[in-house]
Structure 1
Amino acid sequence: QKILICGFPHCGTSILKSIIGHIEDVEEIYNEITVITKKSDKKFILGKWPFTHDDFFGKKYKDYIKIFIIRNPLFVFSSLNKRFNYKIPNDHNFVCYINTLTRFIKYKTNPENNIYTIKYEDLFKNNYDELKKILNDIGFQYDDSIFDNSKYTNVLNGARLLDKKPQNNDHKHYRTWQINQPFISNNDISKIDLNEDQIEKIVNNQYVLQIYPDIKSTF
């Protein structure tokens, strides 16, 4: 059974894939892919793409289980500002985020078979309770050891796990370091770093407010 995790950059697709990849009956593809072609003797084969495309929800992917994750944009764009030195690429911009968010709202509001939605913030609540509901519904056999990342070493192809945190512009090594960190929320209010225009767009957007109704109280 093919499983594709999708969402938006810096929304937690890597963390989510690492957790599920720790399940014994899952073959995890470490590098980012849109189509799973690899064969495996395991019951599930897992990949992720950090964006979300309409095709993922069409006929081409009808045999895939999709897990769709989104994150509070205050933290998404603070993280993107840091990575790109405030020069965020067009395919990572706020319009693209909102397009992704509207898709998320669609499937959260009107669930479809084999499409699961989860907010990054809900990954960690109540001992991963929301994520466990998804895992149980899919039919995974697992125990709570999958949430202890210290038991595993995850390395992207062409990278190695460094002793110290690499610069985030060294993306492959940074992501390898990142997916080997403890599974905790990185939504730290003290790390919000946005310009006034970004804040204005985020906290007044109708779709953001639909999913994050208390976002204005952050400030």
Structure 2
Amino acid sequence: MKKIFILGFPHSGTSILKRVIGNVPEVHEHPYETNIIKPEMTIAAAADGKRAIVIKDINCPWLPSYAIPCDVPSLVAEFKVYLADNASVLFIMVIKNPADIFGSFNRRFGEASPDARPPGHQFVEWETWAAAFSLFRSAPPANLFTIRYEDFFTDRHSMLSEMFGFLDLPFDPSLLQSDRSSMIVESIGSVPNEEPSSRADGDGHGQFRTWQINQPFRDMTGESAIYLDNLTRAEIAASVVAKRLGYAP
């Protein structure tokens, strides 16, 4: 069975991408965040007549927590070992404009000092992830495809089409729109009919995320950036790797 694993910094579009790939008839979309494809997942997918499974996680699935060690050479070396140890898995590495990511964090956690954000959600960690992304983008291992969220939508979805080619799956723009429900949080059993009034961390966040990923596929670039705090905006403006990837606050 084909195994597809999407990795990305939080709030980078990984769940939306998982849903799109899961719209392929032969693919089983595992609903919840997980750091490993377990045998029972593939058994369930096969029993449902599927020939592939897609999962997602945030940050580095081989580490014991979401925290990203801010040592780029060591992280890249560990990442390469992880990819080699899982050579039969096809990985997608996603990144997004940090202005949108951290503006979205402010809506979830409330505007706070950058150091007050939880592990795995700090700007220095985004920079480390971005530096690894940039290196892999220039020389990707055979089982890794890198894509920016913003490129989901450019040039008639040409990068998504290229990604589907990497996955050896058929791509058709109709896959971008589906009435199929997609779940993300185990405690949320159904898709809310209307946009939840709160994005705050906890159950409100789970309700919102479940509602959001089941909305029509569209480019949301810039929508959360308006909630970016000035301190993080200055960090992005000073970031060499953000500029390298075409991002500005």
Asked if these proteins are the same fold (TM beyond 0.5), I'd say yes
Tell me the SS of whatever aligns to 1:92. coil
Whether the aligned pair in 2 keeps the contact of 1:52 and 1:100 (CA below 8 Å) is: no
Whether the aligned pair in 1 keeps the contact of 2:91 and 2:143 (CA below 8 Å) is: yes
**Which residue is equivalent to 2:67?**
none
Whether the aligned pair in 1 keeps the contact of 2:99 and 2:224 (CA below 8 Å) is: no
**Which residue is equivalent to 1:21?**
22
Deviation at 1:171, TM superposition (A): 2.4
Residue 77 in structure 1 maps to residue 84 in structure 2: no
Tell me the SS of whatever aligns to 1:161. coil
- Quick one: distance in 1 between partners of 2:162 and 2:237? 30
65-74 vs 130-139, which moves further: 130-139
**Which residue is equivalent to 1:212?**
246
- Quick one: distance in 1 between partners of 2:174 and 2:214? 14
Whether the aligned pair in 1 keeps the contact of 2:101 and 2:224 (CA below 8 Å) is: no
Whether the aligned pair in 2 keeps the contact of 1:28 and 1:47 (CA below 8 Å) is: yes
**Which residue is equivalent to 1:143?**
172
For 2:85, give the aligned amino acid.
K
Deviation at 1:64, TM superposition (A): 1.1
Tell me the SS of whatever aligns to 1:162. coil
Tell me the SS of whatever aligns to 1:172. helix
- Quick one: distance in 2 between partners of 1:44 and 1:81? 36
Deviation at 1:190, TM superposition (A): 7.7
Tell me the SS of whatever aligns to 1:83. helix
**Which residue is equivalent to 1:64?**
89
TM-score, normalised to structure 2, is 0.80
TM-score, normalised to structure 1, is 0.90
1:24-80 CA-to-partner distances (Å, cap 9, x unmatched) read 111110100010011232221110002235555424322211000100111111001
- Quick one: distance in 2 between partners of 1:70 and 1:15? 13
1:90-115 CA-to-partner distances (Å, cap 9, x unmatched) read 32000111111011011101121010
1:116-170 CA-to-partner distances (Å, cap 9, x unmatched) read 0000000011221101111023210243221113x22223433111112122221
| Number of aligned positions between the proteins | 214
Residue 179 in structure 1 maps to residue 213 in structure 2: yes
- For residue 51 of structure 1, the aligned residue among 36, 49, 59 is 59
**Which residue is equivalent to 2:121?**
92
Tell me the SS of whatever aligns to 2:164. helix
Tell me the SS of whatever aligns to 1:49. strand
**Which residue is equivalent to 1:165?**
195
Whether the aligned pair in 2 keeps the contact of 1:24 and 1:142 (CA below 8 Å) is: no
Identity value in percent: 29
- Quick one: distance in 2 between partners of 1:56 and 1:144? 32
- Quick one: distance in 1 between partners of 2:176 and 2:224? 25
For 1:47, give the aligned amino acid.
I
For 1:196, give the aligned amino acid.
N
For 2:232, give the aligned amino acid.
Q
For 1:126, give the aligned amino acid.
D
- Quick one: distance in 2 between partners of 1:175 and 1:190? 14
- For residue 183 of structure 2, the aligned residue among 155, 161, 164 is 155
**Which residue is equivalent to 1:197?**
231
For 1:163, give the aligned amino acid.
N
Runs of 4+ in 1 over 6 A off after TM superposition: none
In structure 1, runs of 5+ residues without a counterpart are: none
